[in-house]
Amino acid sequence: MAAPPERPALAFDQYLVDLGLAPPSEEVYAHFNFVNRGRHPVSITDIAPSCSCLKPSVKKRDYQPGESGHFFVRVETANELPGQKEFRITVKYNDPEPRETDVTFRVVIPDNQVTVTRALTFWQWGMESTTQDIEVIDRRPRHLTIKSFESTRNIAHVEPGESNIDEAGHWHGRLRVTVPGNLPPGRVDAVIHIVTDDENAVYHRLRVPLMIFGKPKSPIVDKHVQPVGGIEDEPSDR
């Protein structure tokens, strides 16, 4: 009789991490612990989240039989609308067979908080510049103000926009981001860093990613454009 196929090597302590209602903070984290229960070394090739808002981080990629490990994912709460969020993370690895395992991260973003535009994408295929707004919304009784801002790449010009208070009493602050036209082919990634006067230092720094695409070299989709996401090395001080 043929031997049954070997079971996947990685076993997780939790396949669902439910944080419930998140406290007011810039970021929340979900940790996933696992162990290699197989007979062969395991090599993690990718940690792919279902949303680009999740940032996976892992300390190492290779694990011997019986060795434990972990990774974590983080989400910036100000880049998410209030309500329950559920994200799927696909862990891809070899043991030595290619394997995939899905784990889930669930969290409730509180209503009474600050939100900011999740990300801006510019498709600069023409000669004219393009402008988009970043919007910061503060739903708290005493709202923050924007003190300063800067872009990590000079290609994006940022200037103050209009602010107002809506009928519900929520404050809306805006920044205008302009990217010039006639850009060379390829993709440029940048981040707009926003510094506020938040008195509790919870939302003192906000971040908005930018993705800027120049005109493709041909009508065919540019093969060098990569999807958002991927895997980061875990910081050594965490």
What CATH number is attached to the domain comprising 14? 2.60.40.10
Contact between residue 229 and residue 185 where contact means Cβ atoms under 8 Å apart: no
Concatenated DSSP letters for 93-146? EESSSEEEEEEEEEEEE-SSSEEE---EEEEE-SSS-EEEEEEEEE-SSS---E
Contact between residue 95 and residue 8 where contact means Cβ atoms under 8 Å apart: yes
Q: What is the pLDDT of residues 84-96, one digit of tens each?
A: 999 999 999 999 9
102 and 62, same structural domain?
Answer: yes
Considering 65, 87, 110, which residue would you say is the last residue of a domain? 110
206 and 131, same structural domain?
Answer: yes
Contact between residue 210 and residue 184 where contact means Cβ atoms under 8 Å apart: no
83 and 172, same structural domain?
Answer: no
Q: What is the pLDDT of residues 211-229, one digit of tens each?
A: 999 988 765 444 444 443 4
User: Where in the sequence is the domain holding 119, given as residue range(s)?
Assistant: 114-214
Q: Decide: pTM greater than 0.95.
A: no
Q: What is the pLDDT of residue 1?
A: 53
Contact between residue 119 and residue 140 where contact means Cβ atoms under 8 Å apart: no
135 and 62, same structural domain?
Answer: no
94 and 23, same structural domain?
Answer: yes
